[in-house]
Amino acid sequence: GIQVEQSPPDLILQEGANSTLRCNFSDSVNNLQWFHQNPWGQLINLFYIPSGTKQNGRLSATTVATERYSLLYISSSQTTDSGVYFCAVAGRGGADGLTFGKGTHLIIQP
Amino acid sequence: EPEVTQTPSHQVTQMGQEVILRCVPISNHLYFYWYRQILGQKVEFLVSFYNNEISEKSEIFDDQFSVERPDGSNFTLKIRSTKLEDSAMYFCASSELWGPYNSPLHFGNGTRLTVT
């Protein structure tokens, strides 16, 4: 099946810093989503972005489908941004289920 | 904003017992899913459900697992005879359309299942 690798695995930043999280995938995808799992375990959908660029407030994401990677940018980090960020994909075979990466554990210190 | 709701939030059961995890997807959504997350690990797909039947299932979803939509609102996951390794957070999710058609996945808050 499709492989998803996320980097870095862990990231510790001071409040106000910017960060870039990366997601590499091993095959063509027709579905790519970014999720934030907060410290209470809730999974929040951030972006549906199989290609192109989207922005939502301080967060933006870019997927370069031809090169099989996606980037999540977080600007002016706040402590509430802490948690685990997951990239999840489904391949062009038409799969329903998303394959998740192992996530990037982000800690924002005040 | 509409939400996916799951009950109970925490379930403790003894090995070998049957458990039913319940979910109410977002009302206008057509596709329903179960995922699980073993503590500290990544989220894993279990099963998708559309038009009252299983659309796709993973290798994890063996004969011990079953899903059902008993009425117009609830979506359930049953584990027939729980094992210690079934201990995990189980997430229900729903989407309006099939995934590739620009349809974000919305997750519930999860049910933490502990098998003793």
> What pLDDT band is residue B99 in, cutting at 50, 70 and 90?
low
Are residues A97 and B58, on separate chains, in Cβ contact within 8 Å?
Answer: yes
Are residues B105 and A95, on separate chains, in Cβ contact within 8 Å?
Answer: no
State the residue range of the domain holding A42: 4-109
Superfamily of domain B5-98: Immunoglobulins (2.60.40.10)
CATH at A71: 2.60.40.10
Q: Percent of chain B scored above 70 by pLDDT? A: 97
Give the number of A-B residue pairs with CB atoms closer than 8 Å: 64
Q: Is B76 near chain A, with CB under 8 Å? A: no
Q: Give SS3 for A25.
A: strand
Distance, in Å, from the CA atom of A108 to the CA atom of A78, rounded to the nearest integer, reads 6
Chain B: closest CA distance from residue A100 (Å): 6
Task: Put the strands of the sheet holding A69-74 in their side by side order.
Answer: A4-7, A19-25, A69-74, A59-64, A52-56
pLDDT tens per residue, range B18-56: 999 999 999 989 999 999 999 989 999 999 999 899 999
Distance, in Å, from the CA atom of A81 to the CA atom of B47, rounded to the nearest integer, reads 30
Distance, in Å, from the CA atom of A62 to the CA atom of A72, rounded to the nearest integer, reads 7
Can you give the pLDDT at residue B95?
A: 92
Number of domains in chain A: 1
Can you give the pLDDT at residue A51?
A: 94
Can you give the pLDDT at residue B100?
A: 63
pLDDT tens per residue, range A56-84: 999 999 999 999 999 999 999 999 999 99
Strands A10-14 and A104-109: parallel
Distance, in Å, from the CA atom of A51 to the CA atom of B57, rounded to the nearest integer, reads 26
Can you give the pLDDT at residue A1?
A: 86
| Cβ-Cβ contacts under 8 Å, B55 against chain A | 96
Domain residue spans in chain B?
A: 5-98
| Cβ-Cβ contacts under 8 Å, B99 against chain A | 30-31, 90, 96, 98
Comparing CB atoms, the residue among B31, B42, B58 nearest residue A103 is: B42
> Which pair of structure tokens corresponds to residue B13?
């059961």
Distance, in Å, from the CA atom of B20 to the CA atom of B111, rounded to the nearest integer, reads 10
Q: Are A5 and A68 in contact (CB under 8 A)?
A: no
Nearest CA in chain A to B36: A100
pLDDT tens per residue, range A13-55: 999 999 999 999 999 998 999 999 998 899 999 999 999 999 9
Q: How far is CA A41 from CA A36, A37, B1, B56, B116, in A?
A: 9, 6, 19, 25, 22
Is B102 a residue whose pLDDT tops 90? Answer: no
